[in-house]
Homo-oligomer: A and B are copies of this chain.
Amino acid sequence: MFRWYSPQDKKLVAAVKQITGRKPSNINVYKLAFSHTSIAKENVDGFKESNERLEYLGDAVLGMVIAEYLFKRFPYKDEGFLTEIRSRIVSRESLGQLGRKIGLDKLVVYDTKRKTALSFKYLHGDTMEAFIGAVFLDKGFKFCRHFITHNMLNAHIDLKQIIDNDTNYKSKIIEWAQRQSKVVKFQMVDEKGHSHQKQFKIQILIGEEVISFGMGFSKKNAEQDAARKACETLNI
């Protein structure tokens, strides 16, 4: 089918083809994927249209495709391993890098005056998810799965490096505290249960303030759990 495109739309069509290997069937869904919430306008119903709904959809599609990919690639690894590796692949930082690698950062449209606001922290990772949502809506599940596994995973992700890179949240928070000249303490606050069912509860203090709690069936796991939560809370 022949379509009339504005010069700007022509550029977008070419960019999407460059990234996915196929021309868009519906250009509007990609336009929406590149509309950051900072430029969202209310439509007739008072609903603000931005890429945030597509981001929600893309996040779910991505999570499922990576889950299937890892499930089949590692038939003898347990669900804990699969969950951990998936969460590393789909972390905001990792998706942001990927978005920049495939050139999405040049396509996203946002209000430069509001660049300092909180919602910009994950701009590129969010755009990556919204773009996946758009590909899924425009081309269907099979094409989108192929796009994720081939154009993203196989082309840009070093799975071996991701697996080797075991995030140690405890070191992460200790290093952060040193940089900030703050004192970080890990304290055991509770021990429950008997022998092999024993559960530990750890709290982390920065100075005098309790920042997080962690639970685990070993002291080390409880510390990691508490440290991970502290990293989240402190945006480390």
Count of chain copies: 2
Would you give the 0/1 interface string for A59-89, flagging 1 where the beta carbon is closer than 8 Å to chain B? 1110110011001000010110011000000
Q: Which of B59, B60, B64, B78 contacts A52 (CB 8 A)?
A: B78
Q: A76-B45, A213-B212 are in contact. Are A60 and B64 (CB under 8 A)?
A: yes
Contact A56 B79 (CB under 8 A): yes
State in angstroms the CA–CA spacing of A47 and B64 once bound together.
Answer: 24
Residues of B within 8 A of A141 (CB): 141-142
Chain B residues within 8 Å of A76, by CB: 45, 47
**Within 8 Å CB of A64, what residues of B?**
60-61, 63-64
User: Which B residue sits closest to A189, measured CB to CB?
Assistant: B209
Residue in B closest to A141 when the chains form the complex, CB atoms = B141
Known contacts A53-B78, A76-B47; A67 and B71 CB within 8 A of each other: no
Complex Cα–Cα for A233 and B78 (A): 25
A55 part of interface (Cβ distance < 8 Å):
yes
* Closest residue on chain B to residue A212 by CB atoms: B213
Q: Which residues on the B side are within 8 Å of A177 (C-beta)?
A: none
Asked if A102 is at the interface (CB within 8 A of a chain B CB), the reply is no
| A66 nearest in chain B by CB position | B60
- Inter-subunit contact A67/B78 (CB<8 Å): no
The residue from B47, B68, B210, B215 contacting A60, defined by CB atoms under 8 A apart = B68
Shortest Cβ distance from residue A22 to the other chain B in the assembled complex, whole angstroms: 19
A82 touches B53 (CB 8 A): yes
- Complex contact B53–A79 (CB within 8 A): yes
* Residues in B whose Cβ lies below 8 Å from that of A79: 52-53, 55-56
Q: Is residue A57 within 8 Å, beta carbon to beta carbon, of the partner chain?
A: yes
Counting from the closest, the 10 A-B pairs by CB-CB distance are A60-B67, A64-B64, A56-B79, A60-B64, A47-B76, A52-B79, A57-B71, A53-B79, A60-B63, A56-B82
Q: A53-B71, A60-B67 are in contact. List 12 more A-B contacts (CB 8 A).
A: A47-B78, A52-B78, A53-B79, A53-B82, A56-B67, A56-B82, A57-B68, A60-B63, A61-B68, A63-B64, A64-B64, A215-B233
